[in-house]
Amino acid sequence: MHRSYSFDTTLRVMVLLGWVFVIAGCGDSSSSPGSLMNWLGGSNSVVSADPSDGIADVPLAKTIAVTFEEEIVLANAAGVTLTANPGDIPISVTAQEKVLLIDPDPLLEQNHSYTIRIPVGTIQGMQEEFSFSFTTVAVNSVVSTDPSNGATGVSLTKTIAVTCQSDVLLGDTSGVTLTGNSGAVPVTVTAAGANLLIDPVPALAQNCTYTVTIPAAAIRGVEGGTSFSFTTIVSNSVVSIDPSDGGTDVPVTKTFAITCQEEVLLGDTSGVTLSANPGAVTVTVTAQGNALLIDPAPLLQKSHTYTVTVPAGAIRGVGVEVSFSFTTVQIEFVERTGIVVSDVAGASIGRSDTSNNITVSESGIIHVVWKVPDVMAAVPNPQDGIYYSRSIDGGASFTPSVKLRGAAGLPTAAGNRIEPEITCSGPDNVWIAYPTSEGRMEVVRSTDSGAGWGPPLVFGQAGTLSEQKHITADGDYVYISSNDGDMPQPATVDNGGNTFIRSTDAGLSFQSAITGLMGYPLHALLVNPLNRDVYILGTEISGDNIPTPVFYVKSTDHGATFENPVSSGQNITHAGYCFDRSGRIIIVGRTGTLLIGDMNTGIWSRSEVIATSSQPLQSTMAVDGDNTIYRVGTGNDSQVHVAYSVDGGNSFIDEAVENGAYPNAASSVNMSGIAMVYSRGGVIYYAYRKP
């Protein structure tokens, strides 16, 4: 008889000398009624078995499951048996709620009959023995091979696959062989579902016939084994080169690529050369998929003709020499001053030493981002927001502005002056980043040199990012650094750590942020043009221009990870930062102190050679393709000054440009001279200078 009980509290039933005592306890009211029922002598019977009795084609790795009416309490698991001919199979038995699980060890054999026996006493409340039988899958068989028998043109890095009718269970694979014209080739053998996978080590040779032999014992259930042959590619061939032969306006940071029909396997690359007049340039040669990559070190020179030579045999299977020539870019503009950029009243640019409101693309287009007004109002005017202008005639004029973003939802507090920043990569990609009032970031992108703009990409959780941020790009990598921690406060700066966010697909999407990198709110974001390492540099909040230590963190894997913070050992007031083309970080303080950190050696040096001081938050640093170092700032005479050095920072010449404030400039190793913007009377102006 099946008994049913309901308890609000745990009841302990004690039978003593014919008397029944019911004691109310304070135990766990969730105790299993089924377990208590079994203790009281109730029944628990089998509902189903998997596999069911008499079934065939059971997998060899099957976990056997028997489901009961009530939750199981194991009394004697040792009595459960799995029997085949000629005897019992080792098993493990566990209970999981109402299911008894039986795991054979080792795996079952093909085409065998097995019987499970669960005797009375195994499960509390079990009244009758339960048993059932099943048969495992019959013999496995090979369905196909890849490559097929007799195939030609097989890739040298091919993973060989033997596909079977059912999942592959490895047997003795020591006899699996791959034999070519010169004998056996070492292989690794693995199983993946219904596939036996054979990986040659090392890669195969061109125009060679190979035979794969798989003995009967290698795949359990495959009787008689299998064998097949194939022939590898006769040769590899070049599909394209970048830059093309005779190409012009090639960036000085270019990585050259020779793309082949098949995956590139390096041969003897010692003869790969990059030559110019006069002499050769050191290069590194690597393979990536179907491409041979050639990286010059150091950077190329502007307006130079170079020739790349890749001898026969440098790429395995390419039996002919590959040679092509190209000329690097030379971006140079006519000297100008006072060119009007903005066309809306109350225009302003960022009030920061490291704000980037101007950039110059590899095609020579000048891009500028600006805002209206200087400080966003709580109730914005219709014209307020973020604007973009560009020059396609070398700075002679700027196109009518494009309003990219209205002011609603942008920071409004006095200290939270938003600083939209701009960067570019290649001839056509341009990105603009700016913070929102809720502590998130928005990025807009143009893929046609600013002619059109896509919708904003919004990222970051509310309250995690501040207006103290920077954006830069390197090829398809787009990097953003910002301050994190507390939301920005009026009349101050956010004093959280540094957050770093990157895109690896040219700004289509951004990955999860890396937070708490350094903890210095006054910072800069730079890319070393020599090796494309990413740097975040910063100083502590310095109050009234008090020098504080310069620290940096570095990433050598395109921003995927960062090393621990490093101290420069030098103090400076927060200032302008840039990289020169020889891999040195150039920093100048507001009082004119110059710091140079050679990232090739880790050695820092300092001097006091820049005479012109700048007003607070009004200076920037830039370097051009001739390695001329520029410091642009507003002097105490309220004029924009350009101080430049043509000797690596040993000496500087100072020139006044025009009355103005908050200037910033564009660094470009593809350009001679310096392009800059500055503000005066609610108007943004452009100027260009060349020593």
What pLDDT, on the 0 to 100 scale, is given for residue 161?
96
Per-residue pLDDT tens for 493-509?
445 568 899 999 999 99
572 vs 589: CA distance, rounded Å: 6
Q: What is the mean pLDDT of residues 557-582?
A: 90
Other beta carbons within 10 angstroms of residue 403's beta carbon come to 14
Contact 163, 195 (CB under 8 A): yes
**Does residue 566 carry a pLDDT above 70?**
yes
558 vs 531: CA distance, rounded Å: 10
Q: Which range is least confidently modeled, 23-27, 428-432, 475-479?
A: 23-27
What pLDDT, on the 0 to 100 scale, is given for residue 467?
66
347: which 2 tokens? Answer: 């225009």
**Hunting for tokens 């009211």 — which residue is that?**
29
What pLDDT, on the 0 to 100 scale, is given for residue 616?
59
User: Measured between alpha carbons, how far is residue 652 from residues 574, 614, 691 in Å?
Assistant: 20, 15, 11
**DSSP element (H, E) containing 387:** strand 385-391
What pLDDT, on the 0 to 100 scale, is given for residue 257?
97
75 vs 92: CA distance, rounded Å: 15
Per-residue pLDDT tens for 450-465?
999 999 999 877 777 7
Q: What values do phi and psi take at 343, rounded to 5?
A: -130, 20
- Express as a percent the part of the chain with pLDDT over 90: 60
**Does residue 23 carry a pLDDT above 50?**
no
**Hunting for tokens 């090639």 — which residue is that?**
250
Chain centroid to Cα 241, Å, comes to: 27
Per-residue pLDDT tens for 205-253?
888 999 999 998 898 878 788 999 999 987 888 999 999 999 999 999 9
Q: What values do phi and psi take at 77, rounded to 5?
A: -65, -20
112 vs 519: CA distance, rounded Å: 67
* Full set of structural domains in the chain with CATH: 11-136 (2.60.40.3710), 142-232 (2.60.40.1220), 240-328 (2.60.40.3710), 336-689 (2.130.10.10)
Contact 631, 689 (CB under 8 A): no
Per-residue pLDDT tens for 267-321?
889 999 999 977 899 999 999 999 999 999 889 999 999 999 999 989 988 888 9
What pLDDT, on the 0 to 100 scale, is given for residue 609?
67
Q: What is the mean pLDDT of residues 526-543?
A: 85
DSSP-based helix, strand, coil % in the chain, nearest 5? 0, 45, 50
235 vs 349: CA distance, rounded Å: 58
What pLDDT, on the 0 to 100 scale, is given for residue 544?
59
What pLDDT, on the 0 to 100 scale, is given for residue 17?
34
pTM of the model: 0.70
What pLDDT, on the 0 to 100 scale, is given for residue 12?
36
Burial class from Cβ neighbours inside 10 Å (0-12, 13-18, 19+) for residue 237 reads: middle
Per-residue pLDDT tens for 311-369?
998 998 888 899 999 999 999 999 999 999 999 999 999 776 678 999 999 999 999 99
Q: What is the mean pLDDT of residues 471-499?
A: 71
**Does residue 541 carry a pLDDT above 60?**
yes
Per-residue pLDDT tens for 364-419?
999 999 999 988 888 999 999 999 999 999 999 999 999 999 999 988 875 556 78
